[in-house]
């Protein structure tokens, strides 16, 4: 009976049959001109079928270190043998400094060799000196023989683990390693032998089976398909990783934030990056002497140098709110409002400039809008601050809106973003009252991270827009949220082109 096997399987069994005994996998790989990995895989398959036996032998590989090579190149005996020879020549006890002087080496080196001198019986102690002992200096010591054996094996000697781990050889290896003359590592050697069942199978005859990866049109037309076999695929075998294109982790967070508010029935709006100080600050009742408006906190543009203000009636209303509160019931900030400061051109410091525009464009309730976009601030770059980052801003204009509505909306947003533990702390902002800061708990840690601010717009903000109902507002940072979701310790990682991290990020 002829047994049909794939080509490489046939070649391997024939090589083992011809050997008539155990063969090493590296030898088989060299003979068959294949890598060791497929040889090992075929042997494992045959072993599971009872066709071959794979025996492992643990070996210890000894090799010379650079210090060992230098020692052999010098032609000098080991230090303890030189000490023994010096003591024998002196015929009298010698102290360590005297031995060092005779040999022309340092006293410290002599001191390190003393334990070997005594252990090998070359000398005995006499007070603080050494005296030569009656030892055969012609006899070779185990460590000397081993060092010569390693050198004679082209710098690498392989020994069975049992031999290297017991007896004189083990002591010699330990001594040579302690001096830094040799290094060793353990490895395994596998021997493959045919079983009796496989011997019979090969004797009966094995035939190479033609295998193909796929059927072709030519095979179907010629009928060749009848004599071939499709090569099986092992879906569990290791394969090269495939890295398909994917959305950047930060972009995924931005899209998740958009979906969260769209799911809650919000309308998305957009606005320009370059804005007038009027809409970025003044319309939000932020005083013109507020520190956030200083050059060290805000990016001002040189071209264009100024923007035109909106219609005069709105400008006068904002002026009145700032100077004396206008018709809002407030006392205002009690300073002279300067329209030139309002005309300044800035890179928007928050997306609230977009949502306040929305309030002025359509103040009729009920209305829920949000904006996701970039904002710019003159921040010092560190592990949690960037001069350019993303915010999600939103407002709810509704006569039934309350502070509880605000907290519930933000809580639902963070739950949709994957955070179950959220808390709020009282805060102060010039344009909201009451105000809070939102915090989320870092997964698996006791720390809380601040995510942004929120509150109820003050009348000084909403009345000039023609809104008489409560307006809930918030501005939340998204880079920090992405940082937490990706388990990053440094926010700058979101903008570094580290391909390995990008490939593995979820």
Average pLDDT over residues 380-408: 89
Asked if 393 and 472 count as a contact pair (C-beta separation under 8 A), the reply is no
Q: Determine the Cα–Cα distance for residues 486 and 256; give it in Å rounded to an integer.
A: 14
Q: Determine the Cα–Cα distance for residues 371 and 349; give it in Å rounded to an integer.
A: 14
**For 464-491, how does the pLDDT look when each residue is reduced to its tens digit (9 = 90+)?**
988 989 999 999 989 888 888 888 878 8
**For 72-84, how does the pLDDT look when each residue is reduced to its tens digit (9 = 90+)?**
888 888 888 888 7
pLDDT greater than 90 at residue 101: no
Instruction: Provide the 3-class DSSP secondary structure of residue 170.
Output: helix
Q: Determine the Cα–Cα distance for residues 373 and 392; give it in Å rounded to an integer.
A: 7
* Token couple for 255: 């899209």
Percent with pLDDT over 70 in the chain: 99
Q: Give me Rg for the CA atoms of the chain.
A: 42
Mean pLDDT over the full length of the chain: 85
What's the confidence (pLDDT) of residue 12? 83
What's the confidence (pLDDT) of residue 446? 75
Structural domains in the chain plus CATH codes: 64-187 (1.10.10.10), 250-504 (3.30.930.10)
Q: Determine the Cα–Cα distance for residues 309 and 316; give it in Å rounded to an integer.
A: 11
Q: Determine the Cα–Cα distance for residues 500 and 103; give it in Å rounded to an integer.
A: 57
Top-confidence residue, 430 or 262:
262
What string of DSSP letters covers 319-338? HHHHHH-TTTT-----S---
Asked if 375 and 391 count as a contact pair (C-beta separation under 8 A), the reply is yes
Average pLDDT over residues 6-12: 82
**pLDDT category, 238, cuts 50, 70, 90?**
confident
Overall pTM > 0.95: no
Q: What are the backbone dihedrals phi and psi of residue 43, each rounded to the nearest 5 degrees, phi first? A: -65, -40
Alpha-helical regions (H) of 345-421:
352-361, 403-416
What's the confidence (pLDDT) of residue 342? 92
Asked if 351 and 371 count as a contact pair (C-beta separation under 8 A), the reply is yes
**For 125-145, how does the pLDDT look when each residue is reduced to its tens digit (9 = 90+)?**
888 888 778 777 777 887 887
Average pLDDT over residues 377-392: 86
CB count in 10 Å sphere of residue 136: 7
Residues whose CB falls within 8 Å of the CB of residue 85, separated by 6 or more in sequence, listed in order: 77, 137
pLDDT greater than 70 at residue 163: yes
Q: Determine the Cα–Cα distance for residues 255 and 257; give it in Å rounded to an integer.
A: 5
Pairing of strands 3-6, 156-160: unpaired
Greatest mean pLDDT among 40-49, 221-230, 398-407 = 398-407
């Amino acid at each position: 009976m002829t047994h049909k096997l794939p080509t490489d399987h046939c070649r391997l069994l024939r090589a083992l049959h011809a050997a008539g005994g155990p063969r090493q996998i590296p030898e088989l790989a060299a003979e068959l001109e294949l890598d060791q990995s497929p040889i090992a895989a075929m042997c494992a398959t045959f072993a599971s079928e009872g066709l071959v036996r794979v025996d492992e032998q643990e070996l210890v590989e000894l090799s010379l270190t650079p210090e060992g090579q230098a020692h052999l190149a010098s032609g000098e005996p080991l230090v303890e043998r030189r000490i023994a020879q010096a003591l024998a020549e002196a015929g009298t006890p010698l102290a360590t400094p005297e031995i060092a002087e005779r040999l022309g080496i340092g006293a410290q080196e002599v001191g390190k060799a003393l334990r070997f001198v005594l252990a090998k019986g070359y000398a005995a102690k006499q007070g603080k000196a050494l005296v030569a002992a009656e030892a055969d200096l012609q006899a070779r010591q185990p460590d000397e023989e081993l060092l010569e054996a390693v050198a004679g094996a082209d710098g690498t000697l392989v020994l069975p683990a049992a031999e290297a781990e017991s007896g004189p050889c083990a002591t010699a290896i330990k001594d040579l390693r302690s001096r830094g003359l040799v290094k060793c590592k353990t490895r395994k050697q596998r021997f493959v032998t045919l079983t009796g069942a496989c011997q019979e199978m090969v004797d009966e005859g094995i035939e190479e089976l033609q295998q193909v990866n796929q059927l072709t049109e030519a095979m179907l037309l010629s009928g060749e398909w009848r004599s071939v076999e499709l090569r099986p695929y092992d879906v569990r075998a290791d394969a090269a990783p495939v890295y398909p294109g994917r959305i950047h982790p930060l972009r995924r967070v931005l899209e998740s934030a958009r979906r969260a508010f769209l799911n809650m029935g919000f309308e998305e709006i957009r606005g320009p990056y370059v804005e007038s100080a009027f809409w970025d600050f003044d319309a939000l009742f932020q005083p013109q002497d507020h520190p956030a408006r200083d050059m060290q906190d805000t990016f001002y543009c040189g071209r264009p140098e100024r923007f035109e203000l909106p219609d005069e009636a709105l400008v006068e209303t904002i002026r009145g709110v700032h100077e004396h509160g206008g018709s809002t019931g407030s006392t205002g900030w009690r300073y002279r409002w300067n329209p030139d400061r309002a005309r300044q051109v800035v890179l928007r410091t928050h997306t609230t400039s977009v949502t306040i525009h929305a309030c002025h464009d359509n103040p009729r309730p009920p209305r829920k809008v949000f904006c996701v976009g970039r904002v710019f601030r003159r921040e010092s770059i560190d592990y949690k601050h960037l001069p350019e980052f993303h915010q999600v801003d939103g407002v709810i204009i509704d006569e039934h809106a309350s502070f509880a509505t605000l907290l519930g909306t933000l809580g639902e947003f963070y739950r949709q973003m994957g955070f179950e533990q959220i808390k709020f702390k009282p805060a102060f902002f010039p344009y909201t009252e009451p105000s809070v800061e939102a915090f989320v708990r870092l997964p698996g840690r006791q720390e809380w991270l601040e995510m942004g601010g929120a509150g109820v717009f003050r009348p000084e903000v909403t009345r000039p827009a023609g809104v008489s109902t409560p307006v809930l507002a918030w501005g939340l940072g998204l880079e920090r949220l992405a940082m937490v979701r990706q388990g990053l310790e440094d926010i700058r990682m979101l903008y570094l082109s580290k391909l390995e991290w990008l490939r593995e990020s979820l």
